[in-house]
Structure 1
Amino acid sequence: MSSNSNPIRLARTPGPDWTKTAANVFLGHTVREMRENAGLTQKQLAKEILVSSPTVHRLEAAETTPVRRTVDSVINYFKPGASMRDTLTMLLSRALEPEWFQHRFGDCTPGYLRRLLGLESMAITITTYDVRLVPGLLQTSAYAEHIVRTGLHLSEWDGPELELRLAQRAERQERVLGQAAPPQCIFMLDQSVLGRKAGTKKTMHEQMVFLREMADLPHITIRFVLSGRMIAGNAAAMAGSMAQLQFGRGGLPDFVYAEQYEKADYFSKPSRKAKDRNRPLTPRQNDYERHLQLLLRIQGEGCASPAKSRRMLDKAIKRYS
């Protein structure tokens, strides 16, 4: 759904319950806003606080864990009010702590997935598209075990890797969908997922039943992308998994996550001031709009209705019974 489709959507207020990744991203976003409001380039700010330009870039882009000395220098230079100073200090403190998956699941968490895992529990709206499998947030334990096992080498089947990956997936589901105020989720699955067998017939039956139960929840919508639909020159069929995460006005920047084999790209919603709105988008900004429009077209042109999608699940349940 469009980032502007719900103008009254409220952001989650920054606080100590934020994830490390969310605090890191919001800290960098706030520093960039202060710099831009002061009319400074990254190079100019770097010169003023006696660091390198790449250091300022990494801080604003949240590419690495922030350095306390650098953030303290930013605060001392801009001299924000007491409330903003407290917020920045709190965000820095949280950003220096480990993410939920780092200690136990660090070795089995691919680098390209870490930002998504650190931010998705903070989202207000999540819209996803999966072309090959049931998305991880909706997988049953048996279905997930088959998917994870087939991705491991035979020598790893009896080791800790399998159990760790399954435990991580279960904790991820609980953190996102099991929280007191879960995000509104739209899951778009290619129709082929209904017929692509993962594990035994019983495994597929349990997975289809679970999807049907989830489809009845008020905060979850499941829709199947019909195989006979052409969307944007059939770009949807060639895409990997995609997701748009929205965080509300005044919160984290919305972004689109686009996953391919063993890698992923993150495209943030452009932050454009009124004076810049008539300027053409940069290639990176255009990537966000392009991926978002593809998600919107899949949802608008390719999907069965939620009601029809539930009927498709009913048929799949009978087929695997």
Structure 2
Amino acid sequence: MSADPIPINRLARPVAGPETTKTAATIMLGLAIRDLRADAGLSQSQLAKAILVSTPTVSRLETGEGTPQRRTVEAAAKALKVDKATHDLLMVLAGRAEEPEWFQHRFNDITPGYLKRLLGLESMAISLTLYDVRLVSGLLQVPEYTACLIRTGLHRSEWEDGKLELRLAQRVERQERVLGQADPPTSIFLMDESVLRRRVGPNEVMRAQMFHLRELADLPRVVIRFVLLDALIAGNEASTAGSIAQLQFGRGGLPDLVYSEGYGRADYFSKPVLPRGAQEQAKSSQQQKDSDYERHLQLLLRIQGEACASPEQSRRMLEQAIKRFS
């Protein structure tokens, strides 16, 4: 069972590679335009005036909100007088940003809006740390376990109209895109000890799920640890949270991200990345975002350091759970 530290020095996945997602391309495009504008000594309003768009349009482009217009990117590249290599990179990113995400054709109607950004980014991460309080992490669920959750957790109309199979197919494809890729991320899964006892389905479903977790724990880049019920977690916040995930993208990639999910909603907190040459001016405006990101990250670190069973102890707990449901 791997216990390697998070590979913070690992290079990011290719920014314009074939596996780059729409969401990742949109964000990287915005960061590139922002840095080029800062290097040119222009404000957002000055760039907007030069390319005949509104200042909010430039702001949305740089923050990765919505789908960027290719003509806007082309005009910005011309106004910023970029070299050919940079121009080509910007246009590749713009082209990818126009394409749909993997889930949009088949699964868009059943995908909650708050989840779409996460689905568009998690396969780009080189490291994942996830904490789930009440259930087995979605990336680790077997279809039978997921099906039981859907039947008990959704209104009857949401699974009796043929969408149960669609939801299961989406979950399987998501798992394959993240953990099944040729170079999967190093993944640390923290789950509350209660998931080993909380009944989601009959014994055979629970046994299959626990057995699957034990098999996954043997993979070289997967660590599974359980948060002990008698451990003092960092305040009560962790025990009432829905789930928290940290995504790291590696050197030269997207800003690291923390995802915090509650009931029917989620919040995203990016690690602040200041424009080149504008660190001092941006510090005050980034203070709150910095605090939110760091606060959630510190919570994850404290859960690992103060409340978790070791990987070896967690494996023994899985063995006991398999026997319990046998």
TM-score, normalized by length of structure 2?
0.93
Question: Aligned residue for 1:217?
Answer: 219
What is the identity percentage for the equivalent residue pairs of Structure 1 and Structure 2?
61
| Residues 96-124 of structure 1, C-alpha deviations (whole Å, 9 max, x = no match) | 01111001001001111111111111110
| Mapping 1:150-189, distance limit 5 Å | 150-189=152-191
The one-letter code matched in structure 2 to 1:178 is G
8 Å CA contact 1:16, 1:90 repeated in 2: no
| Mapping 1:221-240, distance limit 5 Å | 221-240=223-242
The one-letter code matched in structure 1 to 2:317 is M
Q: For the residues of structure 2 that align with 1:150 and 1:65, how far apart are their CA atoms?
A: 36
| Mapping 1:1-321, distance limit 5 Å | 6-14=7-15, 15-272=17-274, 276=279, 279=283, 281-321=286-326
Partner of 1:187: helix, strand, or coil?
strand
Partner of 1:282: helix, strand, or coil?
helix
Aligned residue-pair number: 318
8 Å CA contact 1:16, 1:94 repeated in 2: no
The one-letter code matched in structure 2 to 1:33 is D
Q: Report deviation, 1:42.
A: 2.3
Q: Report deviation, 1:274.
A: 7.9
Partner of 1:270: helix, strand, or coil?
coil
| Residues 133-155 of structure 1, C-alpha deviations (whole Å, 9 max, x = no match) | 11110000000001112222223
Of stretches 33-42 and 226-235 in structure 1, the one that deviates more from structure 2 is: 33-42
The one-letter code matched in structure 2 to 1:262 is G
CA spacing shift, 1:51–1:58, aligned 2, 3 Å: same
The one-letter code matched in structure 2 to 1:194 is L
| Residues 185-236 of structure 1, C-alpha deviations (whole Å, 9 max, x = no match) | 0000011111111011110000000001001111100000111222222221
Partner of 1:208: helix, strand, or coil?
helix
Q: Report deviation, 1:5.
A: 6.0
Q: Report deviation, 1:61.
A: 1.6
Q: Report deviation, 1:48.
A: 2.4
Q: Note the residue ranges of structure 1 that are not aligned, 5 or more in a row.
A: none
8 Å CA contact 2:257, 2:269 repeated in 1: yes
8 Å CA contact 2:6, 2:127 repeated in 1: no
Q: For the residues of structure 2 that align with 1:193 and 1:148, how far apart are their CA atoms?
A: 16
| Residues 64-97 of structure 1, C-alpha deviations (whole Å, 9 max, x = no match) | 0111121111111112111111111111111101
CA spacing shift, 1:5–1:318, aligned 2, 3 Å: closer
Q: For the residues of structure 2 that align with 1:159 and 1:6, how far apart are their CA atoms?
A: 44
| Residues 247-289 of structure 1, C-alpha deviations (whole Å, 9 max, x = no match) | 1111111100111111111111111468737955521221111
Q: Report deviation, 1:46.
A: 1.9
| Residues 9-41 of structure 1, C-alpha deviations (whole Å, 9 max, x = no match) | 111122233111111111111112212233333
CA spacing shift, 1:274–1:50, aligned 2, 3 Å: closer
8 Å CA contact 1:16, 1:91 repeated in 2: no
The one-letter code matched in structure 2 to 1:144 is T
Partner of 2:94: helix, strand, or coil?
helix
Q: Report deviation, 1:7.
A: 4.8
Q: For the residues of structure 1 that align with 2:234 and 2:42, how far apart are their CA atoms?
A: 40
Partner of 1:142: helix, strand, or coil?
helix
Q: CA RMSD in A?
A: 1.8
CA spacing shift, 1:182–1:6, aligned 2, 3 Å: closer
Q: For the residues of structure 2 that align with 1:110 and 1:311, how far apart are their CA atoms?
A: 36
Q: For the residues of structure 1 that align with 2:155 and 2:63, how far apart are their CA atoms?
A: 36
